[in-house]
């Protein structure tokens, strides 16, 4: 756990920043700009607060890979950090074992604590390029098992007593499943309450989330009132469209760009974003002024690819990716390859190296990467070809192949 003392912040760097609240935001609630109560309007609170606000974002460690859609609330959290406020990142290691029922037509399969812990570590690695982990007082990282695992039955009954079945069934997803006679299990009702209790545990002033999280964030407000705390603001960001330009970005729909995609893959996917999606991608994934973009959609795609890739891997890597994708990445078919297969064999067979001995030297010299993973073990081998499909094998800065079936 990383927890710095917010008291180390002696002043707020930029307490009033309307763009912080408005750019790429679908809704702030409650929103009562005419109210004289600072707690009724986030902009007013930002202008008048004499302390860093505690801005919460929760992520459930239900998978191993984050995509650019997940980066949107993380980028907003970083914006609050840059304005002098405290980011409170909650890794939902306990709630991940239940799974968020939002948008689900059926109950999520349970995860083991070991699976959740592995996922949580990969999440932190992927989040580091976005959030400020270095400045004292700007970030707290909590695992919600710290408080949720300690709740006894009496406390859980107390939580359950704050909501009715009717209120739960009003939640999008629950209502649809109930109307279609799809089973809703009782432990799923606990999820919004446990996520809401996170806000109580960290005394959140603001909670960030996608537009599909409004119900859960509102539950947090209700629970804070129940426990005698000022209720948090909810700040909702849009759901990013996938690379197909039609449905939301999702790994299951294979229309996603992973935050850990190889720079060349990330660049290539971004420069193919449909014209209709470009305004949303620029607004949500970059800080570029939206009024000074190129007129030509093709130039916009290149600028988007360059800007986003550079944000994760640096300007040089983005430039190399642009060169590598100028004619698309060449492909090497794994058809006929038997497992287990040594990496040096793939390097030679794909033409990236002239021989196995050269391949061994390149590996020893640290010049070989598989996606963003540098491999220096000359005996590295793969036992599952399917796990290699779609990955980019790289030697140096200019030799690439994508591994395909």
* Domain CATH code at residue 390: 3.10.290.10
pLDDT of 15 strictly over 70: no
What does the pLDDT read at residue 108? Answer: 63
Per-residue buried b or exposed e for 171-205, using 16+ beta carbons within 10 Å of the residue's own CB? bebbeebeeeeeebeeebbbbbbbbbbbbbbbebb
pLDDT in tens, 321-374: 887 666 567 889 998 898 899 999 999 999 999 999 999 999 999 899 887 678
Residue 280 structure tokens: 């949303």
How many helices and strands, by DSSP H and E, does the chain display? 16, 14
210 lies in some domain: yes
Co-location of 310 and 335 in the same domain: no
Residue range of the domain that includes 289:
263-324
355 lies in some domain: yes
pLDDT of 11 strictly over 90: no
Residue with tokens 């919460």: 56
Phi, psi of 93 (to 5 degrees): -75, -25
Q: Do β-strands 2-3 and 206-210 pair in parallel, antiparallel, or remain unpaired? A: unpaired
Instruction: Give the residue among 35, 26, 84, 27 at the shortest CA–CA distance from 55.
Output: 84
194 lies in some domain: yes
Co-location of 275 and 344 in the same domain: no
Phi, psi of 282 (to 5 degrees): -65, -45
pLDDT of 3 strictly over 80: no
Whole-model pTM: value is: 0.77
Co-location of 132 and 176 in the same domain: yes
Co-location of 103 and 7 in the same domain: yes
CA-to-CA distance for 400 and 393, rounded, in angstroms? Answer: 6
Q: Which residues are bridge partners to 57 per DSSP?
A: 89
Co-location of 379 and 295 in the same domain: no
Q: Which of 304, 324, 344 is the last residue of a domain?
A: 324
The arithmetic mean of pLDDT across residues 217-234, rounded, is: 96
> Higher model confidence: residue 97 or residue 158?
158
Co-location of 41 and 187 in the same domain: yes
Highest-pLDDT range among 180-184, 253-257, 306-310 = 306-310
Co-location of 73 and 28 in the same domain: yes
Residue 123 structure tokens: 């999440």
What does the pLDDT read at residue 10? Answer: 34
What does the pLDDT read at residue 328? Answer: 64
pLDDT in tens, 278-334: 999 999 999 999 988 999 999 999 999 999 999 999 998 898 888 766 656 788 999
Number of Cβ atoms within 10 Å of the Cβ of 115: 16
Co-location of 38 and 182 in the same domain: yes
Q: Which of 324, 339, 371 is the last residue of a domain?
A: 324
247 lies in some domain: no
285 lies in some domain: yes
272 lies in some domain: yes
Co-location of 106 and 39 in the same domain: yes
Co-location of 135 and 33 in the same domain: yes
CA-to-CA distance for 167 and 98, rounded, in angstroms? Answer: 20
Q: How far is CA 67 from CA 74, 77, 254, in A?
A: 11, 16, 11
* DSSP character string of 268-289: HHHTT--GGGHHHHHHHH--S-
pLDDT of 16 strictly over 70: no
pLDDT in tens, 100-153: 666 555 566 777 788 888 888 888 889 999 999 999 989 999 999 999 999 999
Number of domains into which the chain is organized: 3
């Amino acid at each position: 756990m990383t927890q710095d003392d917010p008291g180390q912040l002696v002043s707020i760097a930029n307490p009033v920043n309307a763009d912080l609240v408005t750019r790429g935001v679908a809704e702030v609630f409650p929103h009562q700009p005419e109210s004289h109560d600072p707690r009724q309007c986030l902009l007013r609170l930002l202008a008048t607060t004499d302390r860093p606000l505690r801005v919460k974002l929760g992520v459930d460690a239900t998978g191993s890979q984050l995509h650019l859609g997940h980066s949107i609330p993380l980028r907003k959290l970083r914006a609050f950090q840059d304005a002098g406020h405290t980011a409170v990142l909650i890794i939902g290691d306990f709630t991940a074992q239940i799974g968020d029922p939002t948008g689900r037509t059926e109950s999520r399969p349970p995860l083991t604590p070991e699976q959740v812990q592995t996922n949580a570590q990969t999440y932190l690695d992927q989040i580091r390029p976005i959030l400020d982990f270095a400045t004292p007082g700007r970030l707290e990282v909590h695992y919600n098992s710290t408080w949720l695992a300690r709740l006894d039955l009496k406390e859980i009954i107390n939580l359950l007593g704050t909501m009715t079945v009717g209120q739960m069934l009003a939640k999008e997803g629950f209502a649809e499943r109930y109307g279609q006679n799809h089973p809703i299990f009782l432990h799923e009702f606990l999820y919004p309450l446990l996520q809401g209790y996170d806000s109580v545990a960290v005394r959140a002033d603001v909670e960030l989330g996608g537009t599909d999280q409004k119900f859960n964030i509102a539950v947090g407000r209700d629970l804070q009132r129940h426990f005698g705390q000022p209720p948090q603001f909810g700040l909702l960001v849009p759901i990013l469209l996938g690379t197909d330009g039609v449905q939301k970005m999702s790994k299951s729909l294979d229309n996603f760009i992973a935050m850990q995609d190889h720079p060349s893959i990330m660049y290539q996917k971004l420069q193919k974003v449909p014209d209709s999606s470009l305004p949303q991608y620029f607004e949500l994934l970059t800080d570029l002024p939206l009024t000074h973009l190129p007129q030509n959609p093709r130039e916009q795609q290149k600028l988007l690819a360059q800007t986003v890739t550079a944000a994760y891997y640096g300007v040089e890597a983005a430039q190399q990716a642009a060169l590598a994708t100028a004619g698309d990445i060449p492909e090497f078919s794994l058809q006929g390859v038997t497992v287990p297969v040594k990496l040096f064999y793939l390097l030679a067979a794909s033409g990236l190296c002239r021989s196995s001995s050269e391949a061994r030297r390149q590996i020893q010299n640290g010049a070989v990467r598989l996606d963003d993973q540098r491999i220096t073990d000359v005996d590295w081998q793969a036992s599952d070809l399917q796990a290699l499909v779609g990955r980019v094998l790289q030697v140096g800065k200019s030799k690439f192949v994508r591994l395909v079936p």
